[in-house]
A and B are shown apart, each in its own frame.
Chain A
């Protein structure tokens, strides 16, 4: 469960990226955060992932208030999330398998078990057989699927994605959203920040619409 209350983020230069945003996302829900560029989607993504702290207000994830969380506890909180970044943040000097195994190395899973789970995650996103390839050798859609495999390999309860279909062609974007639907169907909370409205009708998610840092609407498309 994610509960945001009067969430405000003001950057040092004075720009207010979010202003008094409040919402609740229940466990197992699929929610899309939408809005134009600069509406505050990525800021909200970063606040939910504990990458940044709110200027005021609170955001509670599974009972933990991220605004009051001590610094040392943040990494452990992030392990609850599967994070998919707009720029994917893949390690281009490591092969596909090593990229997916990184979150498992962080939690100290034995190498053999980590490899088994990483291969299973790659299989789920349709990258079976590409384990030894370097990310640079993958297409844009495959790179995004690799990012998803890395995000889900730790079996997180919440999948949080920032513009996952940006820069993808329609077919690749459809594949990615089908993967999200599959995870949602097995009970994973899926939260996607996107400015692309064309997928909402297909997935019927709950919509949180942001405009200039304010939440305009929350409902189902």
Chain B
């Protein structure tokens, strides 16, 4: 075990030495890897932000229940009781007189309302459910329609459903793009390691002849690939964090113009860790492929 750990330490040292040994080439490789990782990760973060923004908008999503004109005080009490017991969230009752008064107070409506022979507006409830998922809202609205003395239930969730569908497609497209770019990263590392192997072909040959196992040969290259990928992941996290920071102000102003409030969030430390780990894993994989191919070709 001690020997195994010592060999891993030596391989890591060797990989770090190689990284430091060719700074310009490695910086360029890191940039490529960083950008390759930035694209899907930034896309995921953007979708996450959009999802949260939609969640905020959906948070004020309302369901309106309009009662039959013949609904009486007792019927209203029954609905209040049902809302209290079955619907988590907030709700308020708007009496038909109150609704007419509001309409009357609206600019330009006073004369029209005054000309009406009777109040045409129904009693209504406005509900803001705690669960704002499109499916839940739809189910709730369906349940309200079955309640007695309910004439009409209005739920304007179509746009949320459309947006939800858009998010699903965007996530799928981003997953495909992420897969392609991950393959590209593996290919980039594969090629980088292949060039290193060619440069050290003599050393590899000698080491094998005097008793080095394939694992011993592979190890420094795999560490190199993993380190390069990990540094690329860190760079991608940094790029996304800087981008989020620069965009958060303008996005906040834009949302404010539409009367909302939304703060763009950058990558969390967990996101950065995940991105670093993904970069390391892909780099390791590319290096492992590259060395395995070389060793297979060179084995008599």
Contact = CB atoms under 8 A, between A and B. Distances in A.
A150 B211 CA distance: 12
B213 A108 contact: no
A38 interface: no
Given A51-B209, A91-B202, A150-B210, 7 more contacts: A72-B213, A75-B216, A76-B213, A85-B209, A89-B202, A105-B10, A108-B6
Given A71-B299, A91-B203, A108 B7 contact: yes
Contacts of A150: 210
A106 B299 contact: no
Interface in B242-282: none
A111 B212 CA distance: 17
Indicate the size class of the contact surface on chain B.
20 to 34
Given A89-B205, A91-B206, A108 B4 contact: yes
Nearest to A151: B210
Nearest to B300: A52
A83 B210 contact: yes
Contacts of B18: none
A106 B209 contact: no
Interface of A: 49, 51-53, 71-72, 75-76, 78-79, 83, 85, 89-91, 102-103, 105-108, 110-111, 150-151, 154
Contact of A106 (B4, B205, B211, B300): B211
Which of B4, B7, B210, B212 has its CB near the most chain A CB atoms (within 10 A)?
B210
Contacts of A111: 10
Interface in B41-77: none
B254 to A, nearest CB: 58
B180 interface: no
B211 A76 contact: yes
Contact of B206 (A53, A79, A89): A89
A134 to B, nearest CB: 14
Interface in B99-154: none
Contacts of A154: 211
B63 to A, nearest CB: 68
A117 B62 CA distance: 81
Given A89-B205, A91-B206, A79 B7 contact: no
B208 to A, nearest CB: 7
Contacts of B94: none
Contacts of A90: 206
A53 to B, nearest CB: 8
Interface string B11-52: 000000000000000000000000000000000000000000
Contact of B209 (A76, A89, A107): A89
A122 to B, nearest CB: 16
B7 A75 contact: no
Nearest to A110: B6
Contacts of A105: 7, 10
B126 to A, nearest CB: 74
A155 to B, nearest CB: 13
B3 A108 contact: yes
